[in-house]
Amino acid sequence: MRTFHNSCSTSKLLPDPSATHIAFKNLLLFSDDEGDCVVLLLDVQLFYDQVTQQQGKRDIPADSLLEQILYFIGAYRLLNNNNRLAVFALHHEECQPLYIHGGDESSYASNSNPYRNVKEGIESILRAEVSKIDAGSEPQEPCTALACGLSRALCLINRITTSSSLSRACSKPRIVCITGSPDVPLQYIPVMNAIFSAQRAEVVVEALVLHTKDSAFLQQAAHLTGGLYIRPPDRCAALQHLVHCLSADTETRKMLVVHQPLGVDFRASCFCHKRTIDIGFVCSVCLSIFCEKVSTCKICGTDFHTSEKV
């Protein structure tokens, strides 16, 4: 088992290491003295390929992708000693904390090694998946507990910001989602509720999507909360995007030229079949969305006249 210090060189992972080094030095100059607060949500599905042995390979080995994420964690902690960082692993219907440092000595795992915690936590989840496969169970469909992760991240940020000296007048707390799973329409309602809660609490939601398709959920989350949505064409450059764009706090980012998405997919999922739709029927009372015309709202029970549109 390789350790973090014996990882492959960054020259194999980054197209231009010198550019990343310059960007990191600039971030050190402009970082907020009071520190930043980031909750990192890691989709374990990104590392499942080395376990399930599915046909086809990703652009880079899963362990190299994990190393890039560990490099980012180290770079973010070096920016400011007052930075608050938490890392959660998302897999299927679970959200597992790997590392939490809230800026005080009483924080969970505040004195532990974040690299070891994250690496061993991911490997533990993968070993559990191997045991299930060896026992004869079928591999589960790619999905992630995004709604659960966003909810736990918001609760943790609220606890950190209310119990520490982090000034909300400076940089805003951020939730950074690194995902490789497609959207699950069944999670539409809880995910949107979490996004609206983040918007109200002035928490920025950002995303690094390492999937072949865009995530409509995370596109809307980044758009509504003022965060960044990035889907790099090459996964080998994941670290470069993390350091260049996602390391900077919201105030420092105003002085940087950052990536801007070309558009946002605002399509919703119907409440009846949980399918993504282009055109639907909306209840005038509770604003529930249906893919077909109904006589009674299945959510609030409102009766509609047959001569009127929903």
Report the distance separating Cα 88 and Cα 170, nearest Å: 25
Q: What is the pLDDT of residue 310?
A: 45
38-82 pLDDT, tens digit per residue, is 999 999 988 876 555 444 444 445 558 888 999 999 999 888 888
Question: Is the predicted pLDDT of residue 30 greater than 80, yes or no?
Answer: no
What do you get for the CA distance between the two ends of the chain, in Å?
59
Closest to 233 in 3D by CA, of 212, 254, 249: 212
How far, in Å, CA of 42 to CA of 209, rounded?
11
Distance of CA 169 to the CA centre of its chain: 24
Placement of tokens 């055109």 in the chain:
279
Residue scoring higher pLDDT (273 or 38): 38
Which pair of tokens denotes residue 125?
A: 């989840």
Q: How high is the pLDDT of residue 73?
A: 93
pLDDT digits (tens, 9 = 90+) for 130-167: 777 677 666 666 678 899 999 999 999 998 888 765 55
Confidence of residue 244 (pLDDT cuts 50, 70, 90): confident
Q: What is the mean pLDDT of residues 6-35?
A: 49
Residue 224's pLDDT is 93
Q: What is the C-alpha separation between 99 and 178, in angstroms, rounded?
A: 16
CA dist 91 → 96, 260, 310 (Å) = 8, 28, 37
Task: Order across the sheet with 204-209: list the strands.
Answer: 94-101, 84-91, 37-43, 174-179, 204-209, 229-230
On average, the pLDDT of the chain sits at 77
Domain boundaries, the chain: 4-255, 267-310
pLDDT of residue 127: 83
At residue 177, does pLDDT exceed 50?
yes
Cα angle 126-97-237, degrees, rounded to a multiple of 5: 65
The size of the chain, in residues, is 310
The span from the CA of 48 to the CA of 190, in Å, is: 25
Q: What is the mean pLDDT of residues 187-195?
A: 90
For the chain, give me the number of helices (H) and strands (E)? 8, 10
Proportion of the chain above pLDDT 90, given as a percent? 24
105-117 residue pLDDT tens: 444 544 578 888 8
pLDDT reported for residue 113: 82
Structural domain 4-255, CATH architecture: 3-Layer(aba) Sandwich (3.40)
Residue 149 contacts residue 177 (beta carbons within 8 Å): yes
Over 60: is that where the pLDDT of 215 sits? yes
Token pair of 267 as six digits: 């399509």
pLDDT band at 10 (very low <50, low <70, confident <90, very high): very low
